[in-house]
Amino acid sequence: MQEIPNKLLPGGLWPVMLTPFSDDSTIDYDGLKTLTEYYISVGANGLFTNCFSSEMYQLSEEERYMLTKAVVDFSNGRVPVISTGSFNSNPSICADFVKKMYDQGVDAVILVSSILVEENEDDDTLKKKLEIILRSTGNIPLGMYECPVPYKRLISTEMMKWLADTGKFICHKDTSCKANIIKEKIEAVKGSSLKVYDAHTPDALTSMQSGAHGLTPISANFWPELYTLFLQLFHTGDLEQLKRLNDKMVAMDFTVHQQYYPWAAKAFLRKRGLKIQTHTRVPQNVAKKSDLFSLEALYKEFEKVFNEFNVDGIHV
């Protein structure tokens, strides 16, 4: 086992970062700086860039490096940054990408389970590929990501134990959306350097109670302040307020998942006053009037919750 000395990512809120684009589809680095400052100012404990929400599959290899390096520079050591580093099923090619991504200054490089192996391949095949990557990447800290695209490949409890035993994996972004499954995974890696971060808002409370290290939901691209408050209430033990907030966040999260994403998140933040464009590279139909009405209704509900809990908003 090859240990990663003194490396542990903080718990708390880890937004899955959006990528602002200009109208000509180039990365808007001024908008990216604004967005980075916003996440940090409202309580993000770390930043996950070059992920699915970042439109990573629509970026070129060079853009993935440039995007990641820019976020590292903009954050300037205030919070850690992680970035996806696997876009090829060939483990040797993947290892080279991991090393180049780590050179951008990130704190860990994240592997996508569904890119490394096909749906019909078993965990032994995944382990063999991971072993090649581990041997080729030295002491680079790694993470695992159950990205739903190209398909969702959940990491089994047994595989979680194996990842923890390597000593090189320090984070796992879980998208199982099942409270009992994530609880089993948390138990499987208890006491190790591998920490579990839940992406599913409806399970956020039970996951944190089960020992999850943090949260990485897409709704944090709409109202990260509410997740900051949620975590504060959780750690102070104010269960009455926490459960009340949790119920409202779960209800709003359902609507979020009915929206055109990530366009809707960009439009929502722009409506909130953040100076970023709504342009996206993700192929999609033009939003209908009904979608715009739905987004407006979501915004009004969000304002009610913000006022009810006296939350402080935009800081950029």
pLDDT in tens, 142-166: 999 999 999 999 999 999 999 999 9
Please, what's the b/e burial string for 136-155 (b: 16 or more CB within 10 A of its CB; e: otherwise)?
ebeebbbbbbbbeeeeebeb
User: Is 186:206 a contact under the CB 8 Å cutoff?
Assistant: no
**Over residues 116-140, mean pLDDT:** 97
Query: What is the predicted pLDDT for the residue at 292?
Result: 84
> Token digits for 171?
């984070």
- 289 or 272, which is more confident? 272
Amino acid identity at 186 = I
Q: Which residues of 228-261 are buried (b: 16+ CB within 10 A; e: fewer)?
A: bbbbebbeeeeeeebeebbebbbebbebbeebbb
Residue 315's pLDDT is 55
pLDDT at 257: 87
| 0.85 exceeded by pTM | yes
Distance CA 113, CA 148 (A): 10
Residue 121: Cβ within 10 Å count = 14
What pLDDT score does 6 carry? Answer: 53
Q: What is the pLDDT of residue 260?
A: 86
- Where does the pLDDT of residue 203 fall: very low under 50, low under 70, confident under 90, or very high at 90 and above? very high
Q: How far apart are the first and last CA of the chain?
A: 44
Q: Does domain 12-238 have CATH number 3.20.20.70?
A: yes
Reply yes or no on whether the pLDDT at 54 is more than 80. yes
Cβ atoms 80, 107 nearer than 8 A: yes
Upper half-sphere CA count for residue 285 (Cβ side, 13 Å)? 5
pLDDT tier for residue 285 given thresholds of 50, 70 and 90: low
Confidence (pLDDT) at 2: 46
Residue 5 confidence (pLDDT): 45
Least confident of 12-16, 119-123, 284-288: 284-288
Confidence of residue 283 (pLDDT cuts 50, 70, 90): confident
Helices marked H in 117-223: 123-136, 157-166, 179-188, 204-210
CB distance 230 to 246 below 8 Å: yes
| Domain boundaries of the chain, sorted by first residue | 12-238
Determine the residue type at 111.
L
Indicate whether 277 pLDDT > 90: yes
Instruction: Tell me the mean pLDDT in the region 296-303.
Output: 94
Type of residue numbered 13: L
Mean pLDDT of the chain: 94
What is the model's pLDDT at position 201? Answer: 97
Tell me the mean pLDDT in the region 174-182. 96
Confidence tier at 305 by pLDDT (50, 70, 90): very high
Note whether 309 and 68 are within 8 A (CB).
no
